[in-house]
Amino acid sequence: MDHALDELDRDILNRIQTEVPLAERPFQMLGREFGLSETEVLSRISRMWDLGIVRRLGPIINYPAWGMSGVLVAAQVDQEHLEAVQDCIKGIPEITHAYLRDFEWNFWFTVIAENEDKRDAIIEKVTREADLKKVEKLPQKKSFKLGVKFEI
Amino acid sequence: MMVSDREFIDAAGKGLELKARPFKSLAEALGMSEQEVLEHMAALIEQGRVRRFAASVRHQPMGFSANAMVIARVEPEAIDRVGEQGSKLKAVSHCYHRSHPDGDPWCIYLMVHGQDETLVEQTVGLIQDLPGVREVSVCRSVAELKKTSLSGVSTEI
């Protein structure tokens, strides 16, 4: 599959990362901005979807405003427990992102739960089941940049 | 309205279908009119409970093949300055003040994305040179185990 995006694809992508119009025909509105037909906008977004670039068009929620609690967690885990890590996080929808990193703290994940108690219970469960050696919660003290919009 | 805000956001969080009138099927699923769905989403944005209604993307297939998480240990009085100056770097997508997992409370976390390794390294160099930065750790992801959203609801943590 051709992974190349042309300039219009990139403009559309930058635009929809900021906002998808709340309108009955959002793609028609986008089309007017870019001088394209509704069908053309839809087919360009569909292609970027098939390429795995666009994952979802939907609301990005301000989770604390819903009483939810989320945090980034750094952990240390031995290589031999990586399989347990994978198995464990697979079954926990509240763990939304998980990465292995080439750092002393080699396992990083984010958890978002209904409330703080549930959040901490999930961290406890992962610690136990995946045999994490060290675990540290890293809440944001301040956010300087929440970038999703890229100049691409 | 028939459904609770939570039911509404859970349904909307699944994401739009790619078709000409994408809010119509959502409205049908919720037993609301298309116009009610649009108005309610706009109201949740107005109230600040939804940051925005937008596309979520993956960076990797876009050609951001190189990325790193940079943890900069900084002088306590330089926290805000480093955070602000670091945020201005083009390759930095996210920038937060958090504690270091070792307990050092004076750290700035920067997510750096670049089309190639050179841009990432240049950016790391620029971060290192910011006044007040004592030390930087560059943590590259060696594996992405999971990238999803909770009930389809995207968040930024």
- Per DSSP, the residues of B1-18 read --S-HHHHHHHHHT---S
Asked if residue B79 lies in contact with residue B131, where contact means CB atoms within 8 angstroms, the answer is: no
Residues A18 and A41 in one domain: yes
pLDDT of residue A143: 85
Total count of domains within chain A = 2
How high is the pLDDT of residue B117?
87
Is A37's Cβ below 8 Å from some Cβ in B? no
Q: How far is B83 from chain A (nearest CA, A)?
A: 6
Domain that holds residue A31: 7-50
Check which CATH number belongs to the domain holding A78 and give it: 3.30.70.920
Per-residue pLDDT at A148 exceeds 70: no
- Measure Cα distances from B98 to A98, B49, B71 in Å: 18, 24, 9
Q: Given CB atoms, is A96 within the 8 Å cutoff of chain B? A: yes
What is the pLDDT, as a whole number, of residue B64? 61
Same domain? For A78 and A131 the reply is: yes
Same domain, A67 and A99: yes
Q: What is the pLDDT of residues A38-77, one digit of tens each?
A: 999 999 999 999 998 898 999 988 888 988 899 999 999 9
A126 shares a domain with A73: yes
The verdict on residue A120 lying in a domain is: yes
Q: Say if residue A104 is in the same domain as residue A72.
A: yes
Query: What span, in angstroms and rounded, lies between the C-alpha atoms of B117 and B63?
Result: 12
- For residue B152, the model assigns a pLDDT of 45
The answer to whether position A43 is within a domain reads yes
Chain B CA closest to residue A112: B150
Same domain for A73 and A124, yes or no, is: yes
Distance (Å, whole) CA A27 – CA A47: 14
Q: Are residues A35 and A73 in the same domain?
A: no
Contact A55 B93 (CB under 8 A): no
pLDDT band at B21 (very low <50, low <70, confident <90, very high): very high
Give which of B73, B88, B78 is closest to B123, Cα–Cα: B88
- A118 in any annotated domain: yes
E strand intervals along chain B: 50-57, 66-74, 92-98, 107-114, 133-139, 141-147
For A60, the enclosing helix (H) or strand (E) is strand A54-61
The tens digit of pLDDT for each residue in A96-118 reads 889 999 999 999 999 999 999 99
A134 Cβ partners below 8 Å, 6+ apart? Answer: A75, A76, A105, B101
On whether both A39 and A75 belong to a single domain, the answer is: no
| pLDDT greater than 50 at residue B9 | yes
Phi (first) and psi of residue B54, to 5 degrees: -160, 175
Three-state DSSP at B150 gives strand
* Whole-number Å distance between alpha carbons of A140 and B107: 11
Q: Contact B125/A69 with Cβ under 8 angstroms?
A: no
Question: Can you tell me the distance from the alpha carbon of A46 to that of A12, in angstroms, rounded to the nearest whole number?
Answer: 12
Confidence band for B99, pLDDT divided at 50, 70 and 90: very high
Identify whether the C-beta of residue A90 lies closer than 8 Å to the C-beta of residue A109.
no
In chain B, what are the domains? Answer: 5-46 (no CATH), 60-139 (3.30.70.920)
> Is residue B97 classed as helix, strand or coil in its secondary structure?
strand
pLDDT band (50, 70, 90) for residue B157: low
Q: Are B20 and A61 within 8 A, CB to CB?
A: no
Residues of B in contact with A148 (CB under 8 A): 54, 56-57, 93, 156
pLDDT of res. A109:
94
DSSP string, A85-148: HHHHHHT-TTEEEEEEESSSS-EEEEEEESSHHHHHHHHHHHHHHTT-SEEEE---SEEEEE--
In a domain, A44, yes or no: yes
pLDDT tens digits, B82-95: 999 999 998 998 89
Establish if A93 belongs to a structural domain: yes
Task: Give yes or no: residues A67 and A113 share one domain.
Answer: yes
